[in-house]
Structure 1
Amino acid sequence: MSEANYQQQALVGATGVELVVALYDGAIRFLYRAMQCVEDDDVRGRRVAVKKALDILMYLQARLRPDVGGSAAESLSDFYAEMFTMTLEASHAASVEQFHEVVACIRNVRDAWVVVARDPEAGRVLPRELRTREERFVPGRVVEQAGDGAVGSRWSA
């Protein structure tokens, strides 16, 4: 089985929070690849790896919901923007040390997500698009809307 197929199979059945952790892992993996390219003097390879890491950061930032997540979402938005800038600076300087700093910051937040992943209540605060299909459907859930007694959908928001 190829590495890509193995990685896809590993994500089958993952929760939304576990998928977020996997995105962080991907960003870290691409940053390590960029470091290797710096050491090998592979400019094109570094640029490709950096672009992939930046794509992940942009994806994560674009999925934030400040209207739902409040100050936590704003803090994550600031974090992603800072990691984006630091990654570009590390790439421009072709600096393994700067890439290590970015990895350390991302790993720190990633580890916090791992703690969140262990909390079954955590998945309920994720934006809908970051939840898995199974997490979106909560059997038997009844929702009252605006206190008017109307029964809402079984699909969680």
Structure 2
Amino acid sequence: MLPMSLDQYQVLTSMLAPALLMAATGSLLISANARLARVVDRLRAVMAEWQDADEAQRAELEAEIRSQRTRSGFNLRACLMLYLALAAFVATSIALAIDAFTNFALGPLPTITALVGTGCLLMASIYLALEVRMAIRGLDAEISMQMRQRPSGPKPGARA
């Protein structure tokens, strides 16, 4: 039985905050998984280039392969943190309902699970920021490599 001062609408209202955090976490998971898929695709493309490259190109491509592997590691850690955050927010929502039905017998448990979820979101955000930074560095390196391979003479059809 619910305490007199707490009805089912108050319980449902208190469960909305974790639900909103679950939705936000889900959106971040979709983004992180899409980024991971792009990293995997890029890694496969670089590996194909590596097989046909000469020794000088292989050294540059091996550096990019190492970078892509690090990026995928950041993405995997971010996904893990996001899944843990999602689980913590689900646990928070359930704990809030159970706490209301047991006359607040769980004490600070709902708050602790919410803090764990928020901490996991913070860690995931840090990992995703590190991955984005590596992506930009990789893009800069790729542009530099392409510019070095480009012939420096006049373009065909250009007037002298």
Normalised TM-score (structure 1): 0.41
Between 1 and 2, higher relative CO (CA 8 Å, sep ≥ 6) is seen in 2
Normalised TM-score (structure 2): 0.40
Structure (1 or 2) with the greater helix fraction: 2
